A and B are shown apart, each in its own frame.
Chain A
């Protein structure tokens, strides 16, 4: 068993997150699926860091974490303001820009 199995696990988790984004309708759950994809990418980065024997991958994962925190703050604020005006967190209801 090689460290490559971690990368395969990361690929599986990333796929589950991507499928979740496609099939779920609740905006908050969509955000959680995006977080899962970011986490899977982080796992791959940390494993690459170990395979290559330097710490750059871990630093990149650290930056991904910071960007994810900023993204979650903004995204949840947007969801809150949409919910305040439309009384719904479903992405199917937010179609005002459609027509």
Chain B
């Protein structure tokens, strides 16, 4: 390993480990996704300095570009449920998992280190003599051409399956016709007109204050349910007589 590569390894390697730990520890799923992006970018740089520029750029484009965007899309669709629950269903599961993980890491890390310690890499300079992309293409379209073709079948099957799973089918009798929709809209007990804006007839311009109906009652329909309801009590709204003090 050259000095440059060592610098890259000792800067980006710990960063990747920290980001991976952050992904596991982060309570918010969006934060987890962003930590994972950091790990994937570090790995992409590793691939490039390990004389695999094609696989490194494919990592950045496919993983951080496409797959992580898909994750973020689904997170935004799932929405507020994204935070994790803190309840442990199996008691002691987290501690046991961490202990097993430490043991597993020690086992395979030590095994790999002993197997590969002192072994110099042959390097890819001979294989990359015509360029990395050309070398990969030469192997991919000769020896691995069958696997490559099967991959296309896999991708088509995955796309079709995702379309079927994401499709919402309504049965014919559940579909509402336009007259039915209009009848439901003007049915007794449903208010068809636009709702009053929040703060209308209220004593404050805050969007968290409910508006008032013509008879003076407050209505909960005028503000977003995710905002906390804010209405001062009589004592809070009364003059505080702070003048002149």
Q: Which residues of A contact B (CB under 8 A)?
A: 1-9, 11-20, 22-26, 28-29, 31-33, 35-36, 39, 42-43, 46-47, 49-56, 58-59, 61-63, 65-74, 76-81, 83-84, 87-90, 92
Asked whether any CB of chain A lies closer than 8 Å to the CB of B235, the reply is: no
Cβ-defined contact, B23 with A33, below 8 A: yes
- B194 nearest CB across to chain A (Å): 29
Cβ-defined contact, A46 with B55, below 8 A: yes
| A21: nearest chain-B partner, CB-CB | B97
Partner of B55, one of A33, A36, A58: A58
- A91 nearest CB across to chain B (Å): 10
Asked whether any CB of chain A lies closer than 8 Å to the CB of B105, the reply is: yes
Chain B residues, Cβ within 8 Å of A90: 81, 84-85
Cβ-defined contact, A63 with B151, below 8 A: yes
Partner of A47, one of B24, B50, B83: B50
For the complex, give the distance between the alpha carbons of A22 and B94 in Å: 7
- A7 nearest CB across to chain B (Å): 4
For the complex, give the distance between the alpha carbons of A73 and B70 in Å: 8
The A interface, classified by DSSP as helix, strand, loop or mixed, is helix
For the complex, give the distance between the alpha carbons of A68 and B46 in Å: 19
Partner of B113, one of A8, A39, A70, A81: A8
Which listed segment binds A: B132-140, B178-186, B200-208, B209-217?
A: B132-140
Cβ-defined contact, B32 with A52, below 8 A: no
Interface residues on B, range: 35 or more
Partner of B78, one of A47, A56, A59, A83: A83
Pairs across A and B, CB under 8 Å, 14 listed: A1-B1, A9-B17, A15-B104, A22-B93, A28-B75, A28-B82, A35-B36, A36-B23, A50-B122, A70-B154, A70-B155, A73-B158, A74-B161, A80-B74
Chain B residues, Cβ within 8 Å of A23: 24, 93-94, 97-98
Partner of A55, one of B74, B136, B155: B136
A-facing mask of B103-146, CB < 8 A → 1, else 0?
01100110011011111111110111000100110011000100
The 9 nearest A-B residue pairs measured at CB: A53-B122, A4-B116, A70-B158, A19-B101, A22-B97, A77-B165, A15-B105, A20-B24, A77-B162
> Chain B CB within 10 Å — which of A18, A29, A31 has the most?
A29
- A84 nearest CB across to chain B (Å): 8
For the complex, give the distance between the alpha carbons of A17 and B40 in Å: 13
Asked whether any CB of chain A lies closer than 8 Å to the CB of B51, the reply is: yes
Given contact pairs A32-B23, A50-B121, A63-B151, a sample of 9 additional A-B residue pairs in the complex whose CB atoms are under 8 Å apart = A1-B6, A3-B119, A15-B105, A26-B84, A29-B32, A36-B23, A81-B165, A84-B168, A90-B81
| B138: nearest chain-A partner, CB-CB | A55
- A48 nearest CB across to chain B (Å): 9
Cβ-defined contact, A76 with B70, below 8 A: yes
Cβ-defined contact, B158 with A29, below 8 A: no
Chain B residues, Cβ within 8 Å of A24: 24, 84
